[in-house]
Chain A
């Protein structure tokens, strides 16, 4: 009984806290200083139409590096907790004919869409994180369709480590070429023409590497979750 009372008290306290936040909030009529600075600088200094990408990759690039690390740690944790046990092989139901045929047509297209999303991250809505998850969804489709589908673990690990390593290396290249205070600055590569694929310095390269890394991590996540569970 005391537990229900405590739960009720916690919820009532949270409501009491959030009501003034909601009632006194008014939707702003314009951008604040930092945001308008970011919108101007992303066009002026970086040649990037997509302001969100400019913030994620460049202005707050260090945060993104940290977030990729958090993602890696979470994936490594899942892999650690769900160690493969080769002894008990469970019987899996094969995928239906429709699923198999459909996955044959759709998988290449989904992968191409994912690559398109992360390569054009600086021009259109999209980027490495979204593209990587789309690529992982193609692997999910393959897992569902073919009960014996096997990933090449070596390929996943190599692409993951190399993309993460190159990401840091590109950040250090900014430090080495442009000087102190320019870690993760993409301007050491030419800025190019406005709105073209090869523009905005190293931003498309960094976002493609993030896309490959997120895709590889999510795929290995799916793989370790599939192999475990339901042993009895």
Chain B
């Protein structure tokens, strides 16, 4: 529950940063904060009260092999959100790097990091 609220708070902070800041790198930081917040929300949705990590070992199942999973079902949290977040973190890192590359390119061509100086595409 706390994780869920923290995740939504981080999303709001990040969106506020993206909407109100002028500095391009700060906008990218806002995006990274939204990214983290969404990951926290997804992980919080998959939590099951009082259960442990979805890895079938002696802690969750006394048997081994094919039948181990049946016993483990009642003792682990939801593995699907973990699987989604696992890849989303790495993808988020790469996308943030791509945005920073845009910023560097814009700075090299326009000699400015202020978003107001790039009015060509404004409508």
Contact = CB atoms under 8 A, between A and B. Distances in A.
A148 interface: no
Contacts of B110: none
B91 A71 contact: yes
B101 to A, nearest CB: 4
Interface in A89-109: none
B82 interface: yes
A170 B86 CA distance: 22
A-B interface, 9 closest residue pairs, ranked by CB to CB distance from nearest = A43-B69, A74-B94, A40-B69, A51-B54, A55-B83, A81-B101, A51-B79, A78-B101, A194-B65
Contacts of B48: 27-31
Interface in B45-61: 45, 47-49, 53-57, 61
**Which of B5, B15, B79 has the most chain A CB within a 10 Å cutoff?**
B79
A118 B65 CA distance: 22
Contacts of B20: 4, 7
Residue of B15, B61, B104 contacting most chain A CB atoms (<10 Å): B104
Contact of A29 (B49, B64, B67, B102): B49
A47 interface: yes
Given A49-B55, A52-B82, A11 B94 contact: no
Interface of B: 1, 4-5, 8, 11-12, 15-16, 19-20, 45, 47-49, 53-57, 61, 64-70, 72-74, 76, 78-80, 82-83, 86-87, 89-91, 93-95, 97-98, 100-102, 104-105, 108
Q: Is the interface of B mostly helix, strand, loop or mixed?
A: helix
Nearest to A42: B69
30 contacts: A7-B16, A14-B12, A14-B15, A18-B11, A25-B4, A25-B45, A28-B47, A28-B48, A30-B48, A38-B80, A49-B56, A52-B82, A63-B87, A67-B87, A67-B90, A70-B91, A74-B91, A77-B101, A78-B94, A78-B98, A81-B105, A82-B104, A82-B105, A124-B55, A127-B86, A129-B87, A129-B90, A132-B90, A195-B64, A231-B108
Interface in A68-90: 70-71, 74-75, 77-78, 81-82
Q: How large is the interface on A (under 10, 10 to 19, 20 to 34, 35 or more residues)?
A: 35 or more
Contacts of A36: 73
